[in-house]
Structures are given as structure tokens and as C-alpha cells.
Amino acid sequence: MGLTLGVVAAAGLSLLVGIQPVTPADVVLALTAPAGRPADAVVLHLRVPRTAAGLLAGAGLGLAGAVAQGLTRNPLAGPEVLGVNGGAALAGVVAIALVGVGPLGGYVWFCFAGAALALGAVLAIASAGRDGATPVKIAMAGAAVSALLFSLTSAIVLRDHDLFERFRFWLVGSLTRADLPIVLQAVPFLAAGTVLALALTRPLDAAALGDDAARSIGARPALLRGSAIAAVVVLAGTATAVAGPVGFVGLVVPHAARALAGAANVRVLPLSALLGALVLLLADVVGRVVLRPEEVQVGVTAAVLGAPVFLYLLRRRRVGGL
């Protein structure tokens, strides 16, 4: 409950804070009785889409991270570590730059395909060998695949100035280019992913007991694995389509959720969605004020806030086999 209020407050901040000054009264007026005032345009055309994009992308990443960590029982399995963000970004760039697919409704499918391929590759490589997919192997396979995807993406984007100019903010992870049509198109995809993820909470809890135990109480591990991977792909792929490849939110947020609510996925998953939205919005707001009058992209603030947490997690937990 407190967290929901926190998200609402963060959304309020996100509407208020920015380069053009806007008062709370302006926001209320713009939302209830827009009349073409300059502040109305700022609120309706800039702040509202940006805030909505932050809410959706943050919730998607947080939820995707929680499902990925629940499925792999691996504390380092964030979507970015699994190569999902990198795969979605490369596929998005290919769709827009090479194939010429325009609106989100078109290229989001490419993002899904890219995310799925990258995730499949990382999981397959990490599972090879006798000891299976340990956290170390997943992280390293993800890093190698991501490095490859990054250089291919750069190779495409660097081909000409216009392409580079269109992508250089998106590729860092940014909410500034979000507009309402894109956000609205993202809603059904994220909703589908969320429903699928939330339907998995109990099977994921059962699977935490091990495949045999899960099977004995009626769960089907293969089906669960397939649906969980689909949920991660749809959630993280849509988030990337909206906000670019933002890192660390999906990795770090589920840890915070577990610290607050214990290990049961029934609580961790919804909490991760809320926390993800909160963290991404706050990271974006911080990026708007920290170097005024210029903005820092949300992907950068998220990494600067998230990477130390990642290092802390490594230091505190003797992560599997370390």
C-alpha cells in the first residue's frame, strides 16, 4: 500500500519536475481542463507520455527480472544479464533502420524475436557443461552475447549520421522520445506479459522446491519454463521498445522486493512491478535535475544507481560457486 502511494508520488514528481517549470496547479488544470496554455502543452505532450512510459517500462523490467530470477533460481538473472535487452535493442534497430518498420506495433515483434533469440542463446550456452547453468556461467554468457550484440548494433547505427542521431539516445536508454501513441501501443503487450507472469506465481513457488517436488504437486516444469521465458521476453522486449535497453532495473529490483516481502513469488512479483516503476521514474527524475539545464538519460542514472548494488550483491552473497 505504501509502495503504491510511493509510485503515485513518483509519477507526480515526474509530471512536475523538468526543464520547463510547472506548478502542481498547472498539472491539475492541464489534466482536467486543458485550454491551450503553454503549461498544458508541456504537461500533456512531454510529461504525461514520459511518465507513462517510465511506469510501463519500469514495471515491465521489474517483473521480467523477478520472473527470470524465480525461474533460474539465480540472483544474477536480470533481463540485461540474460542478453534480453541487448537482443531486443539490436532487433529494434534492424526493424527500424534496415527493414523500415515504423510504429511500435510493428517493431515490437522484432524486439520480441531478438529478445527470445538472445535469451535462448544465453541459456543454452550457460546450461552446457556438467554443472548446468550456474550464476557465473549465466552472467558470463550474457556478457559475451551482449558484447557481440552491442557491436553489431553499433555497426548498423554508425553507418550514417541520421541513423546515429535517431538512435543515440534510445540506445542509452531514454524516456525523452516517448510519445503517447507509442505508450498506448505498448499497453496491451505489457498487460499480456503481466497477466502471464502473475499466473505463474504459484508454479514458480512450486518449482523452487525442485522439478520432482513440483511435478508431484501437479506442476509441469517444461510448460512453466516455456511460459516464464515467454513472459520475460514480452515484458523486457516491450520495455526495451519503449525506453531502450535500460540496465540494472530488472536485476536489482527483485532483490529489493525479496528483502521487503520474503521469497514467496506471490508477493515478490507484484512488488517487483511496483518497485520497478518507482525506481525507473525516480531515476528519470534524478536525471532531469542532477545536471540542470541538461538531462541525463535514464539508462545512465539507472546504471549509476544499479551497478553499485550489483557489486554489493556479488560481495555479500557468495553467489553460487564463488
Handedness of CA 304, 309, 312, 314 (dihedral sign): negative
Binding of residue 315 to other proteins (CB under 8 A):
yes
Residue (14 or 134) nearer to other proteins, CB: 134
Joined grid coordinates for residue 43: 504537461
Q: Which of residues 4-63 bind other proteins (CB under 8 A)?
A: none
> For other proteins, which stretch binds (CB under 8 A), given 26-34, 64-72, 262-270, 305-313?
305-313
> For other proteins, which stretch binds (CB under 8 A), given 3-11, 164-172, 188-196, 270-278?
164-172
Binding of residue 289 to other proteins (CB under 8 A):
no
Q: How many CB atoms lie within 10 A of CB 239?
A: 37
> For other proteins, which stretch binds (CB under 8 A), given 58-66, 219-227, 261-269, 291-299?
291-299
CB of 222 to other proteins, least distance (A): 23
Residue (129 or 210) nearer to other proteins, CB: 129
| Residues whose CB is less than 8 angstroms from the CB of residue 250 and which lie 6 or more positions away in sequence, other chains included | 61, 62, 64, 65, 68, 78, 79, 80, 85, 236, 276
Residue 3 — left, alpha, or beta (φ > 0 → left; ψ -120 to 50 → alpha)? Answer: alpha
CB of 135 to other proteins, least distance (A): 8
Of 37, 45, 159, 215, the one binding other proteins (CB under 8 A) is: 159
DSSP-derived 3-state class of residue 163? helix
- Under 8 Å between Cβ of 319 and 135: yes
Binding of residue 263 to other proteins (CB under 8 A):
no
Residue 321 — left, alpha, or beta (φ > 0 → left; ψ -120 to 50 → alpha)? Answer: left
Of 49, 86, 247, 270, the one binding other proteins (CB under 8 A) is: 247
The CA distance from 152 to 147, in Å, is 9
Picking from 253, 265, 255, the residue whose alpha carbon sits closest to that of residue 317 is: 255
The CA distance from 95 to 78, in Å, is 24
Q: Which of residues 114-133 bind other proteins (CB under 8 A)?
A: 125-126, 128-131
Binding of residue 144 to other proteins (CB under 8 A):
yes
Number of residues that bind other proteins (CB under 8 A): 53
Structure letter (DSSP) for residue 200: T
Residue (116 or 283) nearer to other proteins, CB: 283
- Under 8 Å between Cβ of 239 and 64: yes
- Contact residues toward other proteins (CB under 8 A) are 76, 81, 125-126, 128-131, 134, 136-137, 139-141, 143-145, 147-148, 150-152, 154-155, 157-159, 161, 164-165, 168-169, 171-172, 174, 247-248, 294, 296-297, 299-300, 303-304, 307-308, 310-311, 314-315, 319, 321-322
